[in-house]
Amino acid sequence: MRPQILFPLFAPVSSLKGVGPKILPLVEKLAGPLARDLLFLAPQGVIVRTAADAATARDGEVQTFTVRIDAHLPPHRPPAPYRIRAIDPTGFLFLTFFKGGGPHLLRQHPVGSDRIVSGKAERRGAELQIAHPDYMVAPERAADIPEVEPVYPATAGVTSRIVRKLVLEALERAPELPDWLDPAFAAREKFPHWREALAALHSPRSEADLMPQSVFRRRLAYDELFAHQLAMAERKSSRKAQPAAAIPASDISREAEAALPFSLTGAQIRSLAEIRGDIMSGERMSRLLQGDVGSGKTVVAMLAMADVAAAGRQSVLMAPTEILARQHFETLAAPLQSQGVNVVLLTGRDKGALRAEKLRGLASGETAVAVGTHALFQDDVSYRDLAFSVIDEQHRFGVADRRRLQDKGEAAHLLAMSATPIPRTLELTVYGDLDVSRLDEKPPGRTPVATRAVPMPRLPEIVARLKSAVDSGAQAFWICPLVAESEDSDLVAAEHRAASLKAMFGDKVGLIHGQLPNAEKDAMMARFVEGDLAVLVATTVVEVGVNVPNATIMVIEQAERFGLAQLHQLRGRVGRGSRESACVLLYDLPLGKTAEARIDILRKTDDGFLIAEKDLELRGGGDPLGLKQSGFPAYKLADPVAHRDLIATAADDARLVLSRDPQFKSPRGQAIQALRALFDWKPEGPDVG
C-alpha cells in the first residue's frame, strides 16, 4: 500500500490551482496525470537575465533594461507591428508587438512612465529591439522578474511559465522523507537529500545545473535507477521461488548436435550449458540469449528444445513475423525430426482442416515443438504440457502478447533471444531481471563482409557495378535513407529509388515498406528469398532480417543518417552464404566527424558488442542504438547513457537489500518502501509470467 505521506503527490493534476478542464489534457500530455509527474518534469533550459543598457546590449541575448516610455508607434496598416519607443540614458530601445498590440498597451504603459523590461535583445541595423518582451513592469514590481528562470516543456495553450507555476505547487506538496540511500554511498557521492535535490532541480542557477552530471541530477537519477533495479530484482527473486519442470540433458539433444554439419562455437557450448543448468534446477528459468546476427542463437535454442522433448514436454518458439518464423522452422525442423521430435509451423495463414490438425497435435502432446507467430497464443490453441517458451526479438511483442504465450504453460521456462547487442553498461536497465548468456563468437564459415564507403556523387558507378553483379546471379538489398521522423517521407524516398533502379533492372526490383499490408510484405520478401527479385529496396521500418544466402550486396543510402549499431544490423543481412559479400555505405558530402568515425569503425570490425560500445561513446546521451525500440525503460530523471556508472551500483544495492531485508522491515527498508511507491515501477521485461 502507498504510504499516506505520499498521497498529496498522487493527487490528480486537476487538483492543482489553475488546472481547469481546458488545460487539463494539455498538462497531462506534457507531464502525466499526477502531481508527482510534474515534480519529475525537469527543466529543459535556463534563462539568466543580466542588466544592460541600450548602448552596450549584447545582440541575441536575454537582458533586462530600465527605461522610460518615450512614444507609442501604432502601425500605419496591418500587418505591421505595434511598437513602443523607450529610452534610457544611453539610447533608444524599441518594443515590438506583432500580435496583441493596441490601445491597451498605451493604457498599461503611458508615455513618461518608467518600466523595467526584459527579453531577447536584437539589433536591426542601428535599432535595438525586443519583440514581445518577457516582462514589462513598473519599478516597484522589479522582484517579479526572476534573475534566473528555468524553461520547461510547453505546448500550445500551456506556456513554460504556467508549467513552472504548477511544478512549484507540486514541489510544495513534496514531503520530507527518511533517506533510502546507503549512508556511506551517499556520503561518498556527496549526494544531497531527496527533497533538497528536487528543489535544486527546479531552481537551476545556470546551464551547468541542468547537466546530467550535476550532483542533484545524479542523486535523483540514482533514486530512479535504484527503484527500477529493486522492482526487477524482486521479480527475479519471486520467479526463482516458483518450482518448474526439472529437465535433464538428453541423448536426443546430443545426437542432434552430433548430426549438425558444423561444430558449436565455444560461446554456443557455454550458453547451452547455462541454459541446461537452469532448466535442470527445478526453478523457473528466465534467461536472455544475446548474440549478433548469425551467431547461432536458434541452434542453441533447438538443442535445449530437444532436451525438453526427450522429457516428454513441449516447447514453442515465437517470432515477430511470419517470414522469420518460417526461417526458424527451417533451421529447427530437419535436425529435430531426424531424432523423432515432431515440429510444426503455426501462423495466421493456417486455416481449416490443416490448422485443426496442427492444433490437435499440440493439444495431445504428439507435437513436441511449435514454431510460429502470434498464432501460437490464440484462445483456441492449447498445449498438453508446455514447459519451454522461446521468444525471438522479444521487445517487438507487447507485454500482453508475451503474457498470453507464457500462460499457455504452467511456470514454463523462458528463453528470450535478441540480435541487438547492448553495451554491458546498459544491459541491467533492460535485462536486470534476467540471467544473460552471450554469443560473442561467429560460427566458422561465415563470409566476412567487405565494407566500403562511397560518396553519393558516385552513385551511378555503384549502380553500374550492381548491374554487373546482378547479371552474374547476385542479389542485393538497397536500404533507403531515414528522411525524417515520418514513414511517409521515408516511403517517398524508397519509391523514388525503386523507380530509378527499375529503369536499369526492370521488374527484378521489389519494394517493401512499413505501410504495406503484412501479406504483401511477406509475398515480396518470399519473391526475394526465392530469387525472383534481384534487388530489394526497403525502408528501415520493415524487418529485413531473413536468411537469404544468395544476397551478397547491401547498399545503404545516406549512411551518415544511421546509427552505428543500426548500420551493423543491416550489414549483417549479407555474408550468409559462401560467396564474397560487400556492404556499400553511400554518404553525402561533407561527412561530419561523428559519421566519419562510425564508418571507420564499421570498416575495422564486425564485432556487434564492440560496435555497440563504440556507438555509445559516439552518441553520448539521447537515444543510442534506438534504445526506445529495444525495450529500454522510459526513465523520467535518469539518462541510461549519462548515468551508466550508477546502474551497476543500483543493481548491487538492490540485490543486497533484498537478501538482507526482503520484507523491508528495517528503518532503511521502511524508507525504501516510500521510494518504491514514489516511482511505482512496473517494468516491462521479456518475462511476464
Enumerate helices (H) and strands (E) in the chain, giving the number of each.
22, 22
Same domain, yes or no: 269 and 401 = yes
Distance CA 434, CA 689 (A): 13
Residue 17 resides in a domain: yes
**pLDDT attached to residue 529:** 87
> What is the span of the domain harbouring residue 203?
4-45+155-210
**Residue with cell string 534487388:** 535
Residue 187 has pLDDT above 90, yes or no: yes
For residue 150, give the 3-state DSSP assignment: strand
Domain count, the chain: 4
Any residues with CB less than 8 A from the CB of 521 and at least 6 apart, and which? 512, 542
Q: What is the mean pLDDT of residues 313-323?
A: 92
Element (H, E) at 170: helix 160-173
pLDDT value for 543: 53
Pairing of strands 50-51, 61-73: parallel
Please, which pLDDT band fits residue 497 given cuts at 50, 70 and 90?
A: very high
Which of 291-305, 536-550, 620-634 is predicted most confidently?
A: 291-305
What confidence tier does 491 reach under pLDDT thresholds 50, 70, 90? low
Q: Which of 420, 439, 458 is the last residue of a domain?
A: 439
Buried b (16+ CB within 10 A) or exposed e, 240-271: eeeebbebebbebbeebbeeeeeebbebbebb
Helix axes 644-660, 215-240, angle to 10 degrees: 50
φ, ψ of residue 545 in degrees (nearest 5): -85, 35
The b-or-e profile of 451-470 (16+ CB within 10 A means b, else e) is bebbeeeeeeebbebbeeeb
Instruction: State the DSSP string of 70-138.
Output: EEEE--SSTTSPEEEEEEETTEEEEEEESSS-SHHHHHHS-TT-EEEEEEEEEEETTEEEEES-SEEE-
Task: Provide the pLDDT for residue 622.
Answer: 44
Q: How many Cα atoms are found within 13 Å in the side-chain-facing hemisphere of 575? A: 25
The predicted pLDDT at position 620 comes to: 55
pLDDT digits (tens, 9 = 90+) for 339-397: 999 999 999 888 999 999 999 999 999 999 999 999 999 999 999 999 999 999 877 77
In this prediction, residue 625 carries a pLDDT of 41
**Better-scored residue on pLDDT, 78 or 63:** 63
Residue 100: pLDDT band (50, 70, 90) is confident
Cα angle for residues 152, 155, 159 (degrees, 5° grid): 55
Residue with C-alpha cell 557455454? Answer: 270
Determine the pLDDT at residue 652: 95
Whether residue 508 has pLDDT greater than 90: yes
The pair phi, psi for residue 438, each rounded to 5°, is: -120, 130
**Better-scored residue on pLDDT, 492 or 427:** 427
* Domain co-membership, 40 together with 55: no
Which of the 8 DSSP states describes residue 299? Answer: H
Q: Is the pLDDT of residue 415 over 60?
A: yes
- Partnered with residue 588 across adjacent β-strands are none
Same structural domain, 174 and 307: no
CATH code, domain carrying 402: 3.40.50.300
pLDDT-derived band at 619 (thresholds 50, 70, 90) equals low
Which whole-number Å values give the CA distances from 442 to 263, 274, 488, 550, in the listed order? 12, 19, 37, 19
| Model pLDDT, residue 623 | 43
Q: Given a cut of 60, is residue 490 above it in pLDDT?
A: no
What is the mean pLDDT of the segment spanning 553-562? Answer: 90
Name the grid cell of 76: 500605419
Same domain for 379 and 288 = yes
pLDDT tens digits, 382-407: 999 999 999 998 777 777 888 888 88
- CA–CA separation, 23 vs 16, rounded Å? 12
What is the pLDDT confidence band of residue 534, given thresholds at 50, 70 and 90?
very high
- The full length of the chain comes to 689
Q: Which of 108-112, 352-356, 539-543 has the lowest mean pLDDT?
A: 539-543
Say if residue 101 is in the same domain as residue 205: no
Q: Tell me the average pLDDT of the chain.
A: 90
Question: Which pLDDT value is given to residue 632?
Answer: 63
Q: Highest-confidence range of 285-294, 420-429, 515-524, by mean pLDDT?
A: 285-294
pLDDT band at 542 (very low <50, low <70, confident <90, very high): low
314 pLDDT higher than 70: yes
Query: What is the rounded average pLDDT of the residues 213-236?
Result: 95
Strand pairing report for 114-124 and 127-131: antiparallel
Q: Are residues 18 and 165 in the same domain?
A: yes
Three-point CA angle 281, 285, 289, nearest 5°: 120
> Which stretches of 571-639 are assigned E, i.e. beta strand?
581-587
Bond preceding residue 320 cis, omega within 30 of 0? no
- The interaxial angle of helices 424-431 and 644-660, nearest 10 deg, is 50
- Pair (120, 133) in one structural domain: yes
Neighbours of 612 (CB within 10 A): 23
The reply to whether 357 and 494 lie within a common domain is: no
- E strands, 283-373, where? 286-291, 314-318, 343-346, 369-372
pLDDT, mean of residues 29-39:
95
**Confidence check: pLDDT of 148 > 90:** yes
d(CA 501, CA 217): 51
Confidence grade of residue 444 (pLDDT, cut at 50, 70, 90): confident
In eight-state DSSP terms, residue 636 is S
233 in a structural domain: no
* Judgement on whether residues 279 and 353 belong to the same structural domain of the protein: yes
Q: Is 128 contained in some domain?
A: yes
- Please check whether residue 619 lies inside any domain of the structure: no
* Last residue of one domain, picked from the residues 380, 413, 439: 439
| 400 in Cβ contact with 374 (< 8 Å) | no
Grid coordinates given for 458: 558516385
Report whether pLDDT(621) > 50: no
Q: Are both 402 and 530 inside the same structural domain?
A: no
Q: Which residues neighbour 189 within 8 Å (Cβ) at sequence distance 6 or greater?
A: 215, 218, 219, 222
pLDDT of residue 687: 43
Average pLDDT over residues 193-208: 95
Average pLDDT score over residue span 203-214: 93
Percent of the chain whose predicted confidence (pLDDT) is above 70: 94
Average pLDDT score over residue span 286-314: 93
| Of residues 124, 64, 76, 120, the one with CA closest to residue 101 | 76
Confidence (pLDDT) at 685:
42
Residue 241 — pLDDT band, cuts 50, 70, 90?
A: confident
Percent over 90 (pLDDT), the chain: 68
Query: Looking at residues 175-198, what average pLDDT do you find?
Result: 97
